[in-house]
A and B are shown apart, each in its own frame.
Chain A
Amino acid sequence: QSALTQPASVSGSPGQSITISCTGTSSDVGSYNLVSWYQQYPGKAPKLMIYEGSKRPSGVSDRFSGSKSGNTASLTISGLQAEDEADYYCCSYAGSSTWVFGGGTKLTVL
């Protein structure tokens, strides 16, 4: 149950697109299309943004999209806005009814 690998930080200017990667192994990300992504503001509870790799819950902006290639999942935010500045976490099913999170990525909107 080793944590998934995310970049510590990413940044972008308003209107740009950014992508956050989430690298796991063939035992988690690579084996299941069950990656989810969470947005977290300081001192707040996380919010589900993407589930099952690429699906958006009701109410989540279509500027957020998810994808996967091999052992790496990605979250793309298009049309970056100031309100997108937050921490982002990926999570994957890891088999045997266990889940593993990434270390988190701090997104800065310049």
Chain B
Amino acid sequence: EVQLVETGGGLIQPGGSLRISCTASGFTISSNYMSWVRQAPGKGLEWVSVIYSGGSAYYADSVKGRFTISRDNSKNTVYLQMNRLRADDTAVYHCALGYCSSIRCSANAFDIWGQGTMVTVSS
């Protein structure tokens, strides 16, 4: 069964750092497109970052320069290192697997989602 499980969320003070993880099972992350999408309490979805199968990484303007996406293929895990955290980073952070048809995989749709991990930035 294809599954994603996020861990590492918690309460962090403004200006602090936190690393959250997304461990995959049922597939290999290095062959796929993996994204982070967040949802602030009572708000909509916001795309945060993607790491391509080739290793290239991209970010939303709101997190560029503060967040870093990476992966450890041996652990089949994707990470999101979050630095200089702000109150408006408070959200549930989901990782998501890019959709794969019978022909190819793509980062243009988010197929499998984890349940998310809550990050609260507050003093």
Contact = CB atoms under 8 A, between A and B. Distances in A.
A103 B20 CA distance: 25
A109 interface: no
Interface residues of A, number: 26
B109 A101 contact: no
A98 B60 CA distance: 7
A91 B99 contact: no
The secondary structure that dominates the B interface is strand
Contact of B108 (A44, A52, A104): A52
B27 interface: no
B78 to A, nearest CB: 16
A102 B116 contact: no
A48 B116 contact: no
Contacts of A3: 44, 46
A52 to B, nearest CB: 7
A94 to B, nearest CB: 9
Contacts of A79: none
Given A101-B47, A103-B44, A1 B110 contact: no
Contacts of B52: 97
